[in-house]
Amino acid sequence: MTHRPDAGPTPPPGCPAHQPYQAGRPHLAGQPYPAGQPYPGSPAPSYVPHQEPLPVTPLYGPDFAADPHTVYRRLRELGPAAPVELAPRVRATLVTDYRAALDVLRMPGTFSKDARRWRALAEGRVEADNPVVPMMAYRPNCLFSDGDEHRRYRQAVDDSLARIDPNALRGYVERSADSLIDRFTALGEADLLGSYAKVLPLLVFQQLFGCPTELGDRLVEGFSGIFDGVDAERADALITSSLTELIALKRRTPGADVTSWLMAHPAQLDDEEMLHQLVVLIGAGTEPQQNLIANALRLLLADDRFAGDLAGGSLPVEDALDEVLWLDPPMANYAVHYPVEDVAFGGVPVRAGEPVVVSFAAANTDPALRSDRRLGNRAHLAWSAGPHHCPAKDSARLIAAAAVERLLDRLPDLELAVPADRLVWRPGPFHRALTALPVRFPPVPVPTPAPAPVTPGAPHPPAAEQPPAPTPGESRWNARPAPSSSTPAAATSTARPPASGPTGRRSPWNSLAAWWHGQ
């Protein structure tokens, strides 16, 4: 297979995805497989195609959350894909084979992203209020569209995200991190999920999207409900109302933010299209981002390979991120597709319009990869692949790396407050997310900033009358002119950004200052 620059990750050496297609070779696109033959390019199978229906495995509940990789290994024995249940009465086919996953992700002519093809939902066999429907139902955005519609939405998204200055973004993450760390550094203990990893993306996307604090809080509540599958109908309504307010605000008062850039793009998105682009962008920028930060911190604190380096003064954050993106990606199972015609994976038939879900976590650990080299290897599928690969993967990785580095820079003696095997994972078919990440450390008093000089004889103004500190970075978000055409896809192997070195603490800025100081 010839690798295209926009096709996503390049498989590691020895991977079956390096083996080109051959004329006459059975392929999944609507062609049945000869009995007993493996998926093309796979090693000798440990399974034989089943004549009887395969058992349906649930991907929800505490048992799956506690040990999903055991479930993936069991499913892999059934072939490159197997039937699963995402929630009660929601059936799907889960792809666990790396090569099969790449084919699904790279073949939009055979596997559509348009959820209006979802037969069970259209026919009423899945109720609209089922908890996974908000994560799977059609929206007019770049995630759930194909063809010209997808290209139009994706161009607007790519061009708007390209206007973010990565240096300003890193500085904003570090200042946000300092403000959050200041809230618990003197306590000697903290829940790094609730007090840090969950809040930091909120602060960042409020800046990036020009979102007022109260709307940001509501959006995080809504997206958390959707990812957890808890009261999904209320969560969806909360997201819709909050984004409607944000769009109306930016129509009246545009600014140097992604929301305003999307509005001004030549694609001329209407309000409904704006809302649904923001759903996918903000959804991907909150829940998965907090999971990436928390999962990397858990690995750094729990795994001796990384903890030993920390004790020696090294901060192997990039290596930890690589390991997490391979083994515990924040979105473990997603990329829902719908075959446009009946297809087959080995002995597993899939009817047109039935959901096909790619297990990024299972595909990344496919034994056919024949390689345990993950550090520095970016061929994982955590960012998906093909035309729907994540448009913000470089920014997401930068945010996570800066967040983790800043925390370890400020609190180098962090350690888990409970054994790693007692950490609890949140149930849900799509994400890989902790419920809490308790840590302890030697308390570090927060230095009191020196008072501003006062002219002798002049009255000192009360705090409420003092001018607010300027919001840093505002002038830099617009550092580059808007691209006139679609931004080229990023290179497969993202260059490692420079690690953030120790720097002095910076004063908090005006946005959210009252919240940060507990007022």
pLDDT in tens, the chain (519 residues): 333 334 444 444 333 333 322 222 233 333 332 333 333 433 333 333 445 677 899 998 889 999 999 999 999 999 999 999 999 999 999 999 999 999 999 999 999 999 999 999 999 999 988 989 988 999 899 999 999 999 999 999 999 999 999 999 999 999 999 999 999 999 999 999 999 999 899 888 888 999 888 887 788 778 777 666 567 678 878 888 999 999 999 999 999 999 999 999 999 999 999 999 998 898 888 889 999 999 999 999 998 777 655 444 444 888 889 999 999 999 999 999 999 999 887 667 899 999 999 999 999 999 988 666 666 667 899 999 999 999 999 999 999 999 999 999 999 999 999 999 999 999 989 999 999 999 999 998 877 665 555 444 444 434 333 333 333 333 332 333 333 332 233 332 333 333 333 333 332 222 322 322 233
DSSP reduced 3-state for 360 = helix
In terms of Cβ atoms closer than 10 Å to its own Cβ (0-12, 13-18, 19+), residue 81 is buried
Q: How far out from the chain centre does Cα 404 lie? A: 16
> Which element (helix H / strand E) includes 254?
none
DSSP reduced 3-state for 295 = helix
Q: How far out from the chain centre does Cα 170 lie? A: 18
What are the φ and ψ backbone dihedral angles of 48, each rounded to 5 degrees? -125, 135
Which letter does DSSP use for residue 240 in this model? H
pTM, entire model: 0.74
- Asked if residue 156 lies in contact with residue 140, where contact means CB atoms within 8 angstroms, the answer is no
- How many Cβ atoms from other residues are within 10 Å of residue 382's Cβ? 28
Alpha-carbon span 105 to 113, nearest angstrom: 10
Alpha-carbon span 460 to 455, nearest angstrom: 9
As a dihedral over the C-alpha atoms of residue 429, residue 432, residue 434, residue 437, rounded to 10 degrees, the angle is: 180
Alpha-carbon span 352 to 110, nearest angstrom: 10
What are the φ and ψ backbone dihedral angles of 392, each rounded to 5 degrees? -120, 25
Q: How far out from the chain centre does Cα 519 lie? A: 31
What are the φ and ψ backbone dihedral angles of 117, each rounded to 5 degrees? -80, -5
Report pLDDT for 279: 87
- The runs of H, that is alpha helices, within 229-335 are 232-252, 258-264, 271-302, 304-311, 317-327
Q: Which amino acid is at 440?
A: R
Question: Directed axis angle between helix 213-228 and helix 271-302, to 10°?
Answer: 70
**Rg, C-alpha atoms of the chain:** 24
Which letter does DSSP use for residue 465 in this model? G
- How many Cβ atoms from other residues are within 10 Å of residue 203's Cβ? 22
- The runs of H, that is alpha helices, within 118-212 are 119-122, 133-136, 147-161, 166-184, 199-208
Q: Which amino acid is at 114?
A: D
Report pLDDT for 215: 85
Alpha-carbon span 80 to 109, nearest angstrom: 20
Alpha-carbon span 287 to 12, nearest angstrom: 29
> How big, in percent rounded to 5, are the helix, strand and coil portions of the chain?
45, 10, 50
Which letter does DSSP use for residue 431 in this model? B
Report pLDDT for 232: 67
Alpha-carbon span 355 to 335, nearest angstrom: 10
Alpha-carbon span 132 to 53, nearest angstrom: 24
Alpha-carbon span 219 to 204, nearest angstrom: 13
- How many Cβ atoms from other residues are within 10 Å of residue 513's Cβ? 14
Report pLDDT for 373: 63
Handedness of CA 73, 78, 82, 83 (dihedral sign): negative
- Asked if residue 403 lies in contact with residue 200, where contact means CB atoms within 8 angstroms, the answer is yes
Report which of 435, 437, 432, 436 is spatially closest to residue 415, judged by C-alpha positions. Answer: 437
Report pLDDT for 230: 65
Report pLDDT for 509: 26
Structure token pair of residue 511:
């946005």
